[in-house]
């Protein structure tokens, strides 16, 4: 009888010891969190927040809509309009090359033809404007027609010859040559002819010490080339010397015809840069 009564008591004790912590935790749960929350036991005591929503999820902030791009504005200036035409032509050309469908090729051809017509119209209006205003006509300064060019060349030659006659009063020529220089053998008599006909003094300088049959009264180069600022060692070399400003003006190197030599001398001494072009 004693054994029969002890067995239920033992079982009851075991059950009480097993569930007592849970009961105590449940009874003391209100001291930790608000008992009105049904999830307090799982979130605070059991710490099962990874399996339950212990806190109300915050709504995700709404992504601000990207501002709409401003509407494309039509080109306002002539330069912008021309840039737009150029860009459109390039785009149509690229599309026709990369995707050569009949529609793409025809679109490019039509647009290109429109621009060719526009260019032709511009050229026609340009020509008419030049004809009607002589101040815009460059051919009035430098003719290009056969008759006009011939007359211009004759007048220029007369002015050149008149200027070269008195050139020797202010300018002289330095002539750098070498005995073993074949072009010097061609250039020496040309230079002497021009200098004698216009009374221009020539100082011949031998760069290798060799003589000259055309200029027997030569001197050997002793640094004159470097003092004049001539870095090139090319011969023949012709330098114009201004006795007033004491400056050396290189005319040219190598072989030149007599007319070309006189034109260069006239241009460098009698014309301003940008006037005779």
Give the whole-angstrom CA distance, residue 213 versus residue 206: 12
Class of domain 148-270: alpha beta
Which candidate, 264, 275, 241, 251, places its Cα nearest to that of 164? 264
pLDDT bracket for residue 251 (50, 70, 90): very high
Place of tokens 């990207």: 66
Helical axes 146-165 vs 258-270, angle rounded to 10°: 70
Residues 6+ apart with CB under 8 A from 129: 136
- Rg of the Cα atoms in the chain: 51
Assigned token pair, 10: 């033992």
Position 25 scores a pLDDT of: 44
Is the separation of the CB atoms in 153 and 182 below 8 Å? Answer: no
Give the containing element (helix H, strand E) for 177. Answer: strand 171-177
Mean pLDDT of the chain: 81
Q: Which of 5-14, 36-45, 161-170 has the lowest mean pLDDT?
A: 5-14
Question: What does the DSSP assignment read for 130-151?
Answer: HHH-GGG-GGGTS--SHHHHHH
Its pTM stands at 0.55
Each domain of the chain, given as residue ranges in start order, spans 20-56, 99-136, 148-270
Summarize pLDDT for 165-205 with one digit per residue, the tens.
888 899 999 999 999 999 999 999 999 999 999 899 999 99
């Amino acid at each position: 009888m004693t054994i029969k009564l002890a067995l239920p008591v033992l079982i009851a004790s075991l059950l009480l010891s097993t569930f007592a912590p849970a009961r105590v935790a449940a009874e003391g749960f209100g001291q930790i969190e608000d008992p009105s929350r049904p999830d307090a036991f799982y979130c605070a005591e059991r710490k099962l927040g990874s399996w339950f929503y212990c806190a109300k999820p915050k709504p995700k902030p709404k992504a601000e809509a990207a501002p709409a791009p401003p509407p494309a504005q039509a080109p306002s200036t002539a330069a912008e309009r021309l840039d737009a035409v150029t860009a459109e032509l390039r785009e149509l050309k690229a599309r026709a090359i990369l995707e050569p469908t009949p529609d793409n090729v025809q679109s490019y051809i039509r647009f290109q033809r429109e621009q060719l017509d526009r260019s032709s119209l511009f050229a026609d209006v340009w020509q008419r404007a030049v004809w009607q205003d002589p101040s815009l006509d460059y051919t009035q300064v430098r003719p290009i027609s056969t008759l006009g060019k011939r007359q211009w060349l004759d007048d220029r030659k007369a002015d050149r010859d008149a200027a070269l006659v008195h050139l020797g009063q202010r300018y002289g020529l330095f002539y750098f040559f070498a005995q073993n220089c074949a072009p010097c053998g061609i250039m020496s008599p040309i230079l002497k002819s021009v200098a004698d006909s216009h009374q221009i003094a020539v100082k011949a300088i031998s760069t290798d010490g060799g003589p000259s049959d055309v200029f027997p009264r030569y001197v050997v180069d002793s640094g004159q080339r470097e003092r004049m600022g001539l870095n090139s060692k090319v011969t023949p070399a012709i330098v114009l010397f201004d006795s007033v400003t004491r400056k050396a003006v290189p005319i040219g190197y190598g072989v030149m015809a007599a007319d070309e030599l006189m034109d260069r001398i006239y241009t460098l001494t009698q014309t301003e840069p940008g006037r005779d072009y």
